[in-house]
């Protein structure tokens, strides 16, 4: 194992653990759709279960089709991330962190889909009556990882 792969494993594992622990705490302490304000006018904890993908995509489809589809897509994406890691030269720290966040987030949501058939979301960001769709630690890690990769793509030195 290359030295930078150890860092990858630590970050990805940390994301999975933080994601699953936060979902377990929320599931144990909040009823479905219960709201707990954290920052008035900006942030709530709200337990919801997402049967679809980001923003509820495919949420209305039959469960076996939906779950199978998301598992295949997630496994494919994780394979691509692992392939990218394998090809990543040492010293590419931003890319390493980004790929670690993406893989950890994907695994966190896959665990929910396999175990529950849906994903537990609980972070509700809003302004007045405008709410961003609820999300979780795994979704945040994936989003941050993608933003980091895009940043490096746009601002990479030639």
For residue 43, give its domain range.
3-155
Domain count, the chain: 1
CA-CA distance, 5 to 20, in Å (whole number)? 22
Catalogue the E-assigned strands of 9-79.
35-39, 43-50
The angle at the Cα of 76, spanning 54 to 142, to the nearest 5 degrees, equals: 40
| pLDDT score at 58 | 54
Catalytic residues: 121, 139
Question: How many other C-beta atoms are found inside a 10 Å radius of the C-beta of residue 151?
Answer: 12
Map tokens 């994301």 to a residue: 15
User: Can you give the pLDDT of all 158 residues of the chain as single tens digits?
Assistant: 666 678 899 999 999 999 999 999 999 999 999 999 999 999 999 999 988 665 555 555 556 677 778 788 889 999 999 999 888 888 899 999 999 999 999 999 999 988 998 899 999 999 999 999 999 999 999 999 999 999 998 987 64
- The structure's pTM equals 0.89
Ramachandran area for residue 41 (φ above 0: left; ψ -120 to 50: alpha; else beta) = left
């Amino acid at each position: 194992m290359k030295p930078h792969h150890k860092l990858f494993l630590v970050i990805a594992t940390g994301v999975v653990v933080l994601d699953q622990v936060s979902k377990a705490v929320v599931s144990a302490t909040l009823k479905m759709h219960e709201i707990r304000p954290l920052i008035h006018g900006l942030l709530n904890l709200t337990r919801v279960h997402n049967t679809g993908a980001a923003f509820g995509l495919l949420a209305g489809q039959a469960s076996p089709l939906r779950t199978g589809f998301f598992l295949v897509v997630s496994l494919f994406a994780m394979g691509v991330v692992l392939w990218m890691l394998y090809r990543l030269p040492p010293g590419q720290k931003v890319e390493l962190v980004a790929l670690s966040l993406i893989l950890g987030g994907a695994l966190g949501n896959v665990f929910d889909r396999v175990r529950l058939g849906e994903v537990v979301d609980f972070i509700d960001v809003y302004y007045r009556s405008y709410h961003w769709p609820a999300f979780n630690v795994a979704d945040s890690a994936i989003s941050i990882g993608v933003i980091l990769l895009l940043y490096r793509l746009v601002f990479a030195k030639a």
